[in-house]
Amino acid sequence: VLIEKVNKNIKNIDGVIIQDYNKGLLTPTLIETIIDCSNKNKVPVYVDPKFSNYSSYKGVRLFKPNLLEYNAIAKEENFGPPPKSGFHLKEYMNSEILLLTLGSNGMSLYHDGIHESIPTKARQVFDVSGAGDTVIATFALNDVCGLNPLDSAMISNLAAGRVCEDIGVCPITIDSLIDFFSLQYNLEQ
């Protein structure tokens, strides 16, 4: 049923986010079918993986593991230490972009033969729930709107930082992101 829905609606969407929580719904067959259908229709796919399915996520626009997932994959595939191993993983996954989330150490972005580090800004963190979801959703939205990977990653980093300042899972709104961005960079609104 899910595959039928994807096939029926793929031409009417701008991008697909696959957020794998390793709960059983996303089987390798389903993942590969979604990616294949999306690629055939030139719809970008953005993936926040779990280790057990990572080999099914090849050929996507963005592959976004956290540090724990990244280290497990890099070790299993003998990629060596970062940052060079990031290029190996990006190539192995056949992804256009690799965005490695590093928690309080920011992010590492790999795209177009470039490695860029995106630091976090100092802030009070109360709860990291939803930070990864915020990163991938914000990145995907910026990317489908035409922002370059570095700007998309930087805005995603700020958005994730903003949601970590509240207790529990909270949404990021355009107004809260604008306010937060303005405060971080001392901009006039």
Token output for 93: 């996954």
User: For residue 114, what are the β-bridge partners?
Assistant: 111
90's enclosing H/E stretch is: helix 84-93
Cβ–Cβ < 8 Å for 35, 3: no
Cβ–Cβ < 8 Å for 47, 64: yes
Q: Is 133 a catalytic residue?
A: yes
99's enclosing H/E stretch is: strand 97-101
List Cβ neighbours of 116 (8 Å cut-off, separation of 6 or more): 108, 109, 150, 153
Cβ–Cβ < 8 Å for 10, 43: yes
Q: Which of 14, 36, 48, 133 is catalytic?
A: 133
In terms of Cβ atoms closer than 10 Å to its own Cβ (0-12, 13-18, 19+), residue 85 is: buried
Residue written as token pair 């006039």: 188
CA gap 32, 7 in Å, rounded: 13
Active-site positions read 133
